[in-house]
């Protein structure tokens, strides 16, 4: 309905050419054409005058990443007491089976998991940061609920996603396909708004009609399929009707599919390591390079729920994380886009301070968040949570994750954080002034 009123309003302002186009052009082409006729910036950005070229990439580490074995408090004896079998040794104390932490801040006794060399390199180059001790009050230890809390930014895990609400509150509130892209099987709750729905696909090659692969009598099914799905209008079809809506969506889908597949088909500028996360970030980098209009990308890596035999599993995940973030940043840098893209990694919770009886760790609370990009204030930000002042064996958080969201929304995406998050949070100073 809002589409209609919107079109009608512009019709009045700008006359016939636009109105006749409204019925035939797909939604997002229509909007970009309209944008060209507006004063510069007013359509393209959430704040007048700010060019819309900032991009956010969210990396979800699903299952509850063990923050204490990622950002390692090797200077604290209590860490080794609580984790006799799974602690990462302090620099200089490593062994063949248990390599030592990479030092980050020697005076504070903080280091990184040895397999995060790729991320350490970014820290050393001043383009990466760690915000320590991030969490929220009354932490929930259920994966699903805690993940939903992070996705909705709501203590009760209710409502639409925070990124979905970002879109609902900007871009004049009208959804544009391709603005939000999630790589994965299903769209994450975080990306769902009342109006905005993300484009979601697992691999670009599946984001298309698969009937074109079928053997068909007399050649391919593709030409008649394209004719049917690209005919954005038919005589006597009211553009406001369900069929009008369906036909526009069908045309949008074809165009998005063309663009995304063309973008992803190109060779990346750097070599990516193996693994699921690297594969996803490679797709994202290709889409950024192709100047897609996407503002938020969402990727994810699972397997962090390390209740048993944690050491080798976590080491593997750390290698994937460090390697993928490093390659992604270098690709963006080679493209000249590393100043436009903020990458943020989080997990639904950290793990308990003490190890359990199975050589693993159980669900905990506060944990670090990880950031990459030229715009980031580099280094270790905030305080490492205390290992002695605990809440029933769990870390106490220092930074509310919504303070981090507020900074990302306001300082990076130029969006009204309080309106999107429902109240004001003190902003975590993570973006360079």
Q: By the criterion CB under 8 A, which residues form the site for another protein?
A: 1, 144-145, 158, 177, 185-187, 189, 197-201, 203, 206-211, 213-219, 221, 223-225, 227-229, 231, 234-237, 242-243, 245-247, 249-250, 252-253, 256-257, 307, 356-358, 362
63: nearest Cα among 185, 166, 150, 175: 150
Which pair of tokens denotes residue 428?
């975590």
CB of 247 to another protein, least distance (A): 5
Chain Cα centroid distance, residue 273: 20
Report d(CA 66, CA 316) in Å as an integer: 13
CB of 218 to another protein, least distance (A): 3
Report d(CA 410, CA 425) in Å as an integer: 11
- Looking at the Cβ atoms of 8 and 185, the one nearer to another protein is 185
CB of 351 to another protein, least distance (A): 14
- Looking at the Cβ atoms of 21 and 250, the one nearer to another protein is 250
CB of 223 to another protein, least distance (A): 8
- Cβ–Cβ under 8 Å, residues 323 and 276: no
Which pair of tokens denotes residue 30?
């229509």
- Looking at the Cβ atoms of 139 and 198, the one nearer to another protein is 198
50: nearest Cα among 42, 60, 39: 42
- Looking at the Cβ atoms of 133 and 161, the one nearer to another protein is 161
Using alpha carbons only, what angle is made at residue 393 by residues 140 and 316, rounded to the nearest 5 degrees?
75
Report d(CA 79, CA 69) in Å as an integer: 10
- Looking at the Cβ atoms of 263 and 404, the one nearer to another protein is 263
- Looking at the Cβ atoms of 298 and 371, the one nearer to another protein is 298
CB of 262 to another protein, least distance (A): 16
CB of 91 to another protein, least distance (A): 30
CB of 199 to another protein, least distance (A): 5
Q: Is 242 exposed, middle or buried (0-12, 13-18, 19+ CB in 10 A)?
A: exposed
The string of DSSP letters for 53-69 reads: --EEEEEEETT---GGG
CB of 155 to another protein, least distance (A): 14
- Looking at the Cβ atoms of 165 and 384, the one nearer to another protein is 165
Q: Which helix (H) or strand (E) holds 255?
A: helix 242-265
Q: Is 373 exposed, middle or buried (0-12, 13-18, 19+ CB in 10 A)?
A: buried
């Amino acid at each position: 309905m809002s589409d209609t009123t919107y079109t009608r309003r512009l019709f009045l302002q700008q006359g016939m050419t636009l109105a006749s186009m409204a019925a035939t052009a797909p939604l997002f082409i229509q909007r970009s054409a309209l944008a060209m006729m507006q004063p510069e910036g007013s359509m393209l950005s959430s704040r007048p005058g700010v060019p819309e070229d900032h991009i956010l990439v969210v990396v979800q580490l699903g299952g509850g990443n063990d923050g204490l074995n990622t950002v390692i408090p090797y200077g604290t004896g209590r860490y080794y007491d609580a984790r006799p079998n799974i602690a990462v040794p302090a620099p200089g104390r490593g062994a063949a089976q248990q390599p030592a932490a990479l030092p980050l801040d020697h005076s504070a006794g903080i280091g990184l998991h040895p397999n995060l060399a790729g991320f350490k390199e970014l820290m050393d180059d001043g383009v990466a940061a760690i915000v320590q001790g991030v969490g929220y009050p009354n932490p929930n230890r259920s994966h699903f609920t805690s993940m939903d809390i992070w996705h909705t930014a709501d203590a009760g895990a209710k409502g639409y996603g925070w990124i979905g609400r970002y879109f609902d509150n900007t871009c004049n509130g009208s959804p544009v396909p391709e603005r939000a892209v999630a790589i994965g099987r299903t769209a994450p709750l975080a990306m769902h708004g009342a109006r905005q729905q993300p484009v979601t696909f697992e691999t670009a090659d599946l984001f298309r009609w698969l009937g074109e692969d079928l053997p068909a009598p007399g050649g391919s099914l593709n030409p008649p399929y394209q004719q049917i799905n690209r005919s954005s209008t038919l005589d006597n079809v009211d553009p406001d009707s369900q069929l009008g809506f369906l036909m526009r969506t069908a045309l949008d889908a074809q165009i998005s599919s063309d663009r995304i597949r063309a973008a992803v088909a190109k060779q990346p500028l750097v070599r990516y390591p193996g693994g699921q996360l690297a594969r996803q970030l490679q797709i994202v980098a290709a889409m950024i390079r192709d100047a897609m209009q996407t503002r938020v990308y969402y990727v994810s890596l699972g397997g962090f729920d390390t209740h048993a035999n944690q050491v080798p599993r976590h080491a593997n995940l750390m290698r994937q994380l460090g390697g993928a973030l490093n390659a992604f940043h270098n690709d963006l840098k080679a493209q000249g886009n590393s100043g436009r893209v903020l990458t943020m990694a989080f997990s639904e919770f950290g793990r308990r301070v003490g190890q359990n009886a199975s050589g693993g760790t159980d669900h905990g609370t506060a944990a670090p968040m990880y950031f990459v990009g030229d715009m980031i204030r580099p280094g270790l930000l905030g305080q490492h949570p205390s290992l002695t002042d605990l809440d029933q064996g769990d870390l106490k958080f220092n930074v509310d994750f919504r303070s981090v969201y507020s900074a990302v929304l306001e300082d990076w995406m130029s969006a009204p954080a309080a309106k999107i998050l429902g109240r004001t949070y003190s902003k975590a100073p993570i973006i360079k002034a």
